[in-house]
């Protein structure tokens, strides 16, 4: 029989805490679980109580190694991992055959108290996991098909011209020129980060939109030429092929790094009184398309956004005031 513990008395058998992290130690072998206590207990349960072949936990692990998950963007895979931890914690004792629509709906209702958006994302992850069980013949139908998503009202925050100019002034490089380029190209942040130096052509800039698998040439304008010339002159890492390259290595800037930089600049702008209301990095695309609508109409805005119809521009991106003529009596 082993010696009685003097430290870590509250931890379960084989789990220890040392050097700032939780470890699983058995038969002379040690494995780091996590620095977070909650995640460490989750990893501990996976080792001590392995998932049954027909359990939700088993199929959730199978999904994370499936082609469907691995083919997603880095941001989507990150969201899947967050949904995996939350849903597995709730459904770890469930057999996939016993999960009913009302279980999923109850989970979404509780999750929506914190975030409606994440409630829908978690439901999508559960649906993908259970669809894997359908494909393998474990269950006959996917219960998530009978559960509706929670309705989310689109954002209505419209950035003003003076607010955008103030944010550009207070933001450091490369964030300020990234925001200017995002406005000019009317593209998503992740697509702009993937622009390479070789994509700068004589007739414009080639942008690859990953979401719809389409390549677009954005024609030159005086402002666009100025932005690109300045970014190229400031590139410290000539080895990287990307326009927004990191100081070392061959990769482009991570979206999370730019979002952190944007959050710090936004906090500075709010504390100094330059801005009175917060806006997000994703609001810049809506601001650009709203500007296009006011000057050139919905048809041109839909074309620049890469949508085949005006519906998405009208419902999601346009945040200005609609105008109409008054009625007349004969």
In tens, the pLDDT along 225-235 reads 999 999 988 88
Q: Does 252 have pLDDT greater than 60?
A: yes
Residue 270, CA distances (Å) to 137, 153, 244, 283 in order: 55, 25, 27, 17
Q: Which of 146, 174, 202 is the last residue of a domain?
A: 146
For residue 4, the model assigns a pLDDT of 61
Looking at the fold, whether 74 and 121 belong to one and the same domain comes out as yes
| Structural domain contains residue 30 | yes
Q: What's the gap between Cα 324 and its chain centre?
A: 37
For residue 1, the model assigns a pLDDT of 46
* Tokens (6 digits) for 313: 């521009």
Looking at the structure of the chain, the number of domains it has is 2
Looking at the fold, whether 133 and 189 belong to one and the same domain comes out as no
Looking at the fold, whether 242 and 308 belong to one and the same domain comes out as yes
Greater confidence, 36 or 196?
196
b/e per residue 246-268 (b: at least 16 CB within 10 A)? eeeeeebbebeebeebbeebbee
Average pLDDT value for the chain: 87
Looking at the fold, whether 115 and 225 belong to one and the same domain comes out as no
How many Cβ atoms from other residues are within 10 Å of residue 32's Cβ? 12
**Residue closest to 285 by CA, chosen among 317, 262, 319:** 317
Model confidence band, residue 99 (pLDDT cutoffs 50, 70, 90):
very high
For residue 246, the model assigns a pLDDT of 77
Q: Does 211 have pLDDT greater than 70?
A: yes
**Which are the contacts of 237, defined by CB distance < 8 A and separation ≥ 6?**
245, 246, 247, 248, 249
**Residue closest to 321 by CA, chosen among 153, 162, 156, 155:** 156
Give the range among 46-50, 81-85, 237-241, 255-259 with minimum mean pLDDT.
46-50
Residue 292, CA distances (Å) to 185, 201, 214, 298 in order: 12, 24, 21, 8
Give the range among 39-53, 240-254, 288-302 with minimum mean pLDDT.
39-53
**Per-residue pLDDT tens over the stretch 257-306:** 889 999 999 999 999 999 999 999 999 999 999 999 999 888 888 888 88
Ranked by mean pLDDT, which of 51-55, 147-151, 152-156 comes out on top? Answer: 147-151
Q: Does 51 have pLDDT greater than 70?
A: no
Q: Does 2 have pLDDT greater than 60?
A: no
Residue range 196-221: average pLDDT?
Answer: 88
Virtual torsion, Cα 25, 31, 36, 37, nearest 10 deg: -20
Give the range among 30-34, 166-170, 246-250, 266-270 with minimum mean pLDDT.
246-250
Looking at the fold, whether 193 and 168 belong to one and the same domain comes out as yes
User: How buried is residue 287: exposed, middle or buried, by Cβ count under 10 Å (0-12/13-18/19+)?
Assistant: buried
- Percentage of the chain with pLDDT > 90? 38
Looking at the fold, whether 70 and 104 belong to one and the same domain comes out as yes
Residue range 86-104: average pLDDT?
Answer: 89
Looking at the fold, whether 141 and 187 belong to one and the same domain comes out as no
Q: Alpha-carbon distance 243 to 105, whole Å? A: 44
Ranked by mean pLDDT, which of 40-44, 47-51, 105-109 comes out on top? Answer: 105-109
Looking at the fold, whether 200 and 308 belong to one and the same domain comes out as yes
- Contact of 158 with 198, CB cutoff 8 Å: no
Residue range 82-111: average pLDDT?
Answer: 90
**Per-residue pLDDT tens over the stretch 17-38:** 888 888 888 888 888 888 887 7
Looking at the fold, whether 113 and 165 belong to one and the same domain comes out as no
CATH value at residue 61: 1.10.150.130
Q: Alpha-carbon distance 173 to 170, whole Å? A: 10
Residue range 101-124: average pLDDT?
Answer: 94
What residues make up the domain containing 132?
15-146
For residue 171, the model assigns a pLDDT of 93
Q: Which of 146, 171, 194 is the last residue of a domain?
A: 146
CATH value at residue 172: 1.10.443.10
**Per-residue pLDDT tens over the stretch 54-82:** 889 888 888 888 888 888 877 888 889 88
Looking at the fold, whether 293 and 178 belong to one and the same domain comes out as yes
| Structural domain contains residue 86 | yes
Q: Which of 146, 174, 191 is the last residue of a domain?
A: 146
Helix (H) or strand (E) holding 287: helix 283-296
Model confidence band, residue 159 (pLDDT cutoffs 50, 70, 90):
very high
Looking at the fold, whether 241 and 138 belong to one and the same domain comes out as no
Q: Does 8 have pLDDT greater than 80?
A: no
């Amino acid at each position: 029989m082993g010696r009685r513990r003097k430290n870590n008395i509250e931890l379960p058998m084989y789990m220890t805490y040392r050097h700032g992290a939780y470890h699983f130690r058995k038969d002379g072998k040690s494995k780091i679980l996590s620095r977070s206590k909650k995640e460490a207990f989750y990893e501990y349960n996976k080792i001590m109580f392995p998932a049954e072949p027909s359990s939700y936990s088993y199929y959730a692990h199978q999904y994370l190694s499936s082609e469907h998950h691995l083919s997603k963007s880095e941001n989507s895979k990150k969201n899947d991992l967050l949904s995996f931890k939350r849903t597995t914690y709730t459904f770890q004792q469930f057999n996939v055959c016993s999960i009913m629509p009302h279980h999923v709906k109850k989970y979404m209702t509780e999750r929506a108290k914190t975030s409606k958006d994440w409630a829908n994302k978690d439901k999508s992850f559960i649906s993908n996991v259970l669809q894997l069980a359908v494909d393998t013949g474990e269950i006959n139908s996917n219960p998530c098909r009978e559960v509706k998503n929670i309705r989310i009202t689109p954002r209505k925050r419209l950035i003003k011209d003076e607010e955008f100019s103030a944010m550009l002034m207070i933001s450091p490089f490369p964030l300020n020129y990234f925001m200017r380029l995002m406005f000019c190209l009317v593209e998503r942040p992740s697509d702009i980060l993937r622009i390479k130096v070789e994509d700068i052509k004589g007739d414009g800039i080639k942008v690859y939109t990953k979401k719809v698998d389409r390549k677009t040439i954005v024609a030159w304008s005086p402002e666009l030429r100025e932005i690109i010339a300045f970014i190229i002159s400031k590139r410290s890492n000539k080895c990287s092929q990307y326009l927004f390259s990191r100081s070392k290595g061959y990769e482009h800037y991570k979206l999370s790094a730019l979002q952190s930089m944007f959050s710090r600049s936004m906090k500075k702008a709010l504390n100094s009184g330059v801005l009175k209301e917060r806006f997000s990095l994703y609001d810049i695309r809506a601001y650009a398309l709203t500007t296009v609508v006011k000057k050139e109409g919905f048809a041109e805005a839909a074309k620049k956004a890469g949508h085949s119809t005006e519906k998405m521009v009208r419902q999601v991106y346009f945040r200005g005031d609609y105008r109409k003529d008054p009625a007349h009596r004969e």
